[in-house]
Amino acid sequence: MLAPWQQGWPVWLGWAALLCLMTGLALALSPAMPYARWRALHNLLALAIVLALGHLLLLGLDYLLLWSPLLALAFILWRVLRADLGLAAQPHVVARVDHPSAEIVEVRLRPLARPLAARPGQFVLAAFLDGPGFHGCGEYHPYTVSAVAPDGEIALGIKALGECTRHLQAAIPGVAARIEGPFGDFLNQRPAGPELWLAGGIGTTPFLGVLRSGPLPHPVHLIYLHRNERDAAFRDEITTLAKAEPRLTVDDIACGDQLPDLAALLPESTELAGQECYLCGPPGLLAAAVRILQQRGVRPAHIHFEHFDFR
């Protein structure tokens, strides 16, 4: 009989572990739940491992079977200490705040200890704490590096996509932050030859980081998509950079709230031959662009992308 009410503690713990695991997995995939509640309920996965360990102990099984939950608990503890509590993060302070569009803020962070070895286009995990007149949410989120200064100062572009990122639109100089990373290799070690860049909304930040870092080594065609002028972050700066960079061609396109006609906007097969394609933006935009590029003969190895959908 598997009915838990007819069994003892070993079976009860096993059922509880299974319920916590299934509930935690279901909640982990929920896109609509507020982030703070999502993080709290996500801890059901850790509770499931603890209950599973108790289940095995009470059953009196071979000690070799205990290595699996013990190893999982060790990884969870490492994750909590390193990421959630920020023991691997470096202290920074907000040195400057810019507002390139209505729902995007760019913060420049000065290192207070060892500077990060960040490159334009990479991303970091950052938690913003407290400062004069500002109370940070303290949650670690991924943000793309939009600029790197010689003295180690970095800039992060942040769009209001959720509770914490919306709160950060009001960040001010002097706010403390802790940063872990950098991570990722998007736009690094690019092969020699012409490139196509497709940026949707805040997806322009990794490309902006590369443009700010110096002259382009190859011809680049940037297609920058945004809803309207109010949503067009960094457009004036990109226009200025394009005037000074002969290898950069920019198509600035306002497409409203609908998915743009990518079949008309993307180059034809003859123009795409020999190009490396770099895409950054919302998942729907990337999926449509990848499909069209492949239909026009671009091999998957020549399509590189990152997307922005974290809350």
- Compute the mean pLDDT over every residue in the chain, rounded to the nearest whole number: 82
pLDDT surpasses 60 at 83: no
pLDDT-derived band of residue 1, with 50, 70 and 90 as boundaries?
very low
Q: By mean pLDDT, which of 54-68, 192-206, 279-293 is the weakest? A: 54-68
pLDDT (mean) for 21-41: 63
Q: Once rounded to an integer, what is the mean pLDDT over residues 286-301?
A: 92
Looking at per-residue confidence, does 69 or 34 come out higher? 69
Counting every residue written for the chain, the total comes to: 311
Neighbours of 62 (CB within 10 A): 7
Q: Is the pLDDT assigned to residue 291 strictly greater than 90?
A: yes
Class of residue 41 by CB neighbours under 10 A (exposed 0-12, middle 13-18, buried 19+): middle
* Averaged pLDDT for residues 15-26: 72
- Those residues with Cβ within 8 angstroms of residue 150's Cβ, 6 or more apart along the chain or in another chain: none
73-91: b (≥16 Cβ within 10 Å) or e: eeebeeeeeeeeebeebbe
> Phi and psi for 139 in degrees, rounded to 5?
-95, 140
For the structural domain made of 195-307, what CATH number should be given?
A: 3.40.50.80
Task: Write down the domain spans for the chain.
Answer: 4-84, 90-183, 195-307
Confidence (pLDDT) at 111: 95
- CATH tag, 90-183: 2.40.30.10
The three-class DSSP label of residue 234 is: coil
Percent of the chain surpassing pLDDT 90: 36
Average pLDDT over residues 173-186: 90
